[in-house]
């Protein structure tokens, strides 16, 4: 285990803020409209209390699990996030860090490095896609994932293109022409370390998405791909059942917040779901996912693997999710703060912080295995669940 550069995800976030240009940092914060869901994802975990014990604990504690057919050292998956321009190595650094810690990596269709390279860095890679473009193009992306050896697929549906943010939306350039460079020069000049890292890597972000190709097989520009996604009519459950039928391995549906949708995901043949509100960047005032998890687990937990993402910042958060019945958690912003702060080592640092926190919670709650967590480990305040 590498020496820690920071002791918590919160410290990683502060160091990322000091290193990143303001617009890049604000793009990571995201959170739609008033940010109610963004903050509730974080605050809800703090409302849950735990019941520690003082004797009979275990010196050896086991955190390994299997999710979507992949053996992992911790019940933590790297959630797929878009262009990771917080660091030149982007998804490659994240994939190497996850591989070094024995974890699976989710790679976004909107990632900035090709699927082929990411799978070399971490063979346990799940390829994430959106319902975007025509069926032929979607099948082509699935075939590419199959050919390259992706361990599974993730379809992300928790996004409603809500661009309104009370604190203003960050400006994301379509390219780096002279006018754009001059526009962003003042804030970039205040973060010379970030700029120098890109200069050393050979240039500024390309703003293309190599895993989202056009008809001629060439990588699309970010906003062209984003436009394709926005203009694609949303899928029906029959569409999703068709999509599931195109892949013969594990397939997760990410974005569930309702029991009836969870049941329909089971009927459509998905092997896993993630209870998710896109980290608060979807429809605002959606409840925190941890408030919704127990009801969904009760409804479908025997039929499908149930995961959760949104607001995971501590190992104790992971423990609380497991106590409510989650098979594992996905993390997004937490590892991006580590990536921004210190590249691959920063991501490893964040994973170590979460793993150490989980083992600490296991000690305090008297658990030898993560399979032993249960709702009785938690004190749930009245009105907490939705």
> SS3 of 375, please?
helix
The full length of the chain comes to 386
Contact 250, 124 (CB under 8 A): no
Question: Token digits for 77?
Answer: 């998956």
Rounded Cα distance between 253 and 157, Å, is 7
Residue 224 CB contacts under 8 Å (≥ 6 apart), including other chains:
214
Active site residues: 278
Q: What is the four-CA torsion angle of 143, 145, 149, 154, rounded to 10 degrees?
A: -130
Instruction: Find the DSSP H helices in 33-78.
Output: 36-47
* Residue that is written with structure tokens 């083992």 in the block: 359
Contact 205, 198 (CB under 8 A): yes
Rounded Cα distance between 97 and 85, Å, is 17
Cα–chain-centroid distance for residue 130?
A: 14
Rounded Cα distance between 361 and 58, Å, is 12
Beta strands of the chain (E only): which ranges?
49-50, 65-67, 70-72, 76-78, 105-107, 125-129, 152-156, 208-213, 219-221, 251-256, 272-275, 305-309, 328-331, 378-379
* Residue that is written with structure tokens 């608060």 in the block: 280
Q: Name the helix (H) or strand (E) containing 369.
A: none
Q: What is the four-CA torsion angle of 365, 371, 376, 379, rounded to 10 degrees?
A: 60
Q: What is the four-CA torsion angle of 309, 311, 312, 317, rounded to 10 degrees?
A: -110
Cα-based distances in Å from 118 to 38, 141, 288: 29, 15, 31
> SS3 of 339, please?
helix
Rounded Cα distance between 39 and 31, Å, is 9
């Amino acid at each position: 285990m590498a020496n820690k550069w920071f002791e918590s995800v919160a410290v990683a976030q502060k160091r990322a803020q000091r290193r990143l240009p303001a617009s890049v940092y604000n793009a990571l914060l995201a959170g739609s409209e008033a940010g109610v869901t963004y903050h509730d994802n974080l605050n809800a975990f703090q409302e849950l209390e735990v019941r520690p014990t003082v004797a009979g604990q275990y010196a050896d504690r086991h955190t390994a699990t299997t999710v979507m057919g992949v053996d992992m050292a911790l019940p933590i998956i790297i959630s797929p996030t878009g262009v990771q321009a917080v660091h030149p190595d982007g998804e490659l650094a994240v994939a190497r860090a996850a591989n070094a810690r024995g974890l699976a990596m989710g790679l976004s269709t909107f990632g900035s490095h090709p699927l082929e390279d990411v799978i070399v860095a971490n063979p346990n890679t799940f390829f994430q896609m959106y319902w975007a473009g025509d069926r032929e193009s979607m099948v082509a992306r699935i075939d590419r994932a199959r050919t390259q050896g992706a361990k599974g697929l993730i379809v992300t549906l928790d996004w409603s293109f809500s661009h309104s943010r009370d604190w203003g939306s960050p400006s994301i350039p379509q390219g780096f022409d002279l006018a754009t460079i001059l526009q962003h020069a003042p804030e970039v000049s205040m973060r010379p370390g970030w700029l120098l890292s890109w200069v050393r890597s050979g240039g500024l972000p390309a703003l293309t998405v190599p895993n989202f190709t056009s008809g001629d097989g060439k990588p699309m520009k970010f906003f062209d791909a984003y436009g394709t996604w926005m203009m694609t009519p949303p899928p029906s459950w029959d569409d999703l059942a068709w999509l599931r039928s195109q892949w013969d391995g594990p397939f997760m549906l990410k974005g569930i917040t309702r029991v009836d949708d969870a049941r329909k995901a089971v009927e459509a043949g998905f092997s896993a779901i993630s209870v998710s509100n896109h980290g608060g960047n979807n429809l605002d005032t959606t409840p925190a996912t941890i408030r919704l998890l127990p009801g969904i687990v009760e409804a479908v937990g025997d039929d499908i693997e149930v995961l959760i993402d949104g607001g995971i910042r501590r190992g104790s958060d992971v423990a609380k999710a497991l106590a409510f019945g989650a098979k594992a958690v996905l993390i997004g912003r937490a590892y991006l703060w580590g990536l921004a702060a210190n590249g691959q080592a920063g991501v490893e640092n964040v994973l170590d912080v979460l793993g150490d926190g989980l083992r600490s919670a296991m000690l305090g709650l008297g658990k030898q295995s993560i399979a032993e967590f249960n709702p009785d480990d938690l004190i749930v305040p009245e009105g907490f669940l939705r």
